[in-house]
Structure 1
Amino acid sequence: MRRILFPILAAATALTFRRRMLTWGATAEEVAAEYPGDSLVPAPTGRSTMATTLPAPPEAVWPWLIQMGTERAGWYSWDLLDNRGRPSATRIMAQWQQLDEGDRIDTSPDGKLYFTVALIDRPRTLVLRSDIEISRGRSFDPRGPLPRVFAAGIWAFHLTELPGGHTRLVVRTVGHSGPRSLMALPDRLIGEPAHFIMQLRQFTNLRERVVANPAPSTENASTIGARPR
């Protein structure tokens, strides 16, 4: 009997923890909701919804998000892992406040890996898209044929203003990778835990930064992140 029960209990525990990991901090309504950008990834093979409440209005959180990137403000996570050990910025940097749909945000110093800004709606929605050819270790154009082994998906930030000048930040990922015979196990054992660890750290560091920096004035907030015409 024990030989039967132990693997069943172990599998149930792993499944429960995985579900918790993929929905950390999010309400049932947030997990079930559809957000802008979700439909950009057809036939998804993975999805997560993590959320936190930040003690600042969306206009004060937004500038931190749009200046993210390698050779920019960093990612506010574990810098040794995702920013070559360079500390992420601790203040708003004016030179990195311009961002439009179609812009690239490098994730490697050589520019071989990058996010593309898929959707942007200031200061509510920022959707970053990543399409990686695994064998070559570089991004590819999703408008062309899919590489033999690939990982594609979005990393999306959705901001909602709460009473008291706070922000509800929901981070949604939707991914599609293949072939599944090769990618299913790495996605489950590496990709999902890595995102969980890095996103939790980013939540913590964003909270520290918005607390340490006062919200911009209403006049300035309306233009932050807009590219001069």
Structure 2
Amino acid sequence: MKTTTACAIGIATYAAGLAVGSQVIARRWRLTWGATSDEVTRTMPGDELLAEPDIVATRAIAIAAGPEQVWPWLVQLGPGRGGAYTYDWIENLLGLDMHSANTILPEFQSLSVGDAFTLGAKGPHMRVAILDPERTLVFASEDGRWVWAFGLYPAANGVRLVSRNRIATPDATVSTRLFNWLIMEPGSWVMERKMLLGIKERAEGRRWRNSRRSPGDRPAVCPR
């Protein structure tokens, strides 16, 4: 009996360790999706605005286009502007009023440091903290708990678009941190992955290439 009990405890301990380990590995993959090790460790403009974050996510994508073709899609980001190029229906379930543009909108191309928008009725107020045309765009929340940076870096066949989120949760309870780990972080990966792919497709000019639908129809998405 004692041997059986010890064996059962050993198996349970191993299974628990395996589950936790797999979650840790999956979490790192989600938080660094698409990014190289150099991109993950590289200091980016905006890092200094939140020196001790609790969560850092650095995600990236290669875009076969020049920075001048990517930049306009970045500067029109935001609710009531160009949207977020992700799953609008999910964003709008959360009350964010996002409608992703499929063209460059001239009225939203004159972004300046200090310009701000609010993510939803009760969401954070995001302000442009750093703007270096065709290189860097950094948003920071007015409460100082979120910094969202975009960097465009030269690559062999275009540019690398790197997105970094630095988030502080100093008042979070254990249950809140667990919720963030199991629900919010995977959700943010799903949405940001879609956003990066959406910017890539638009900047490369292939989002609805070869579509034969009429202008009033919903465009067909090219396969990846």
Q: How does the TM-score come out when normalised to structure 2?
A: 0.80
Cα distance, 1:112 vs structure 2: 6.0
Q: Are residues 1:38 and 2:47 paired? A: yes
> How far apart, CA to CA, are the structure 2 residues paired with 1:159 and 1:38?
15
Whose radius of gyration is greater, 1 or 2? 2
Q: Identify if the C-alpha distance between structure 1 residues 48 and 113 changes in structure 2 by more than 3 Å, giving closer, same or farther.
A: closer
Give the structure 1 partner of residue 61 of structure 2: 52
112 and 11 in structure 1: CA distance in 2 versus 1, 3 angstrom threshold = closer
1:86 positional shift: 5.5
- Aligned Cα RMSD in Å? 1.9
| Sequence identity percentage | 34
Give 2:105's aligned residue: 93
Q: CA deviation at 1:154?
A: 0.9
1:20-77, CA deviations, whole angstroms, 9 ceiling, x for partnerless residues? 1111111111111111101101321110111100111111100000001111111101
Alignment match, 2:33: 24
Residues 188, 70 of structure 1: alpha-carbon distance in 2 compared, 3 angstrom cutoff? same
* Structure showing the higher strand proportion among its residues: 1
User: 1:127 is matched by which residue type in structure 2?
Assistant: V
User: Are 1:209 and 2:194 counterparts?
Assistant: no
Aligned length: 193
> Aligned to 1:178, which of 157, 170, 177?
170
Q: Report if aligned partners of 1:42, 1:176 keep a CA contact under 8 Å in 2.
A: no
Whole-angstrom distance in 1 between the partners of 2:37 and 2:181: 22
Give the CA deviation at 1:111.
Answer: 8.0
Say if 2:75 and 2:111, in contact at 8 Å, map to a contact too. Answer: yes
Is the counterpart of residue 115 in structure 1 residue 126 in structure 2? yes
Q: Deviations over 1:107-134 (max 9, x none)?
A: 22x5864311111111100111124xxx
Cross-structure match for 1:200: 193
Distance in 1 of aligned mates of 2:97 and 2:117: 18
List alignment gaps of at least 5 residues for structure 2: 1-9, 207-224
| Runs of 4+ residues over 6 Å off in structure 1 | none
Scaled by the length of structure 1, the TM-score of the pair is 0.78
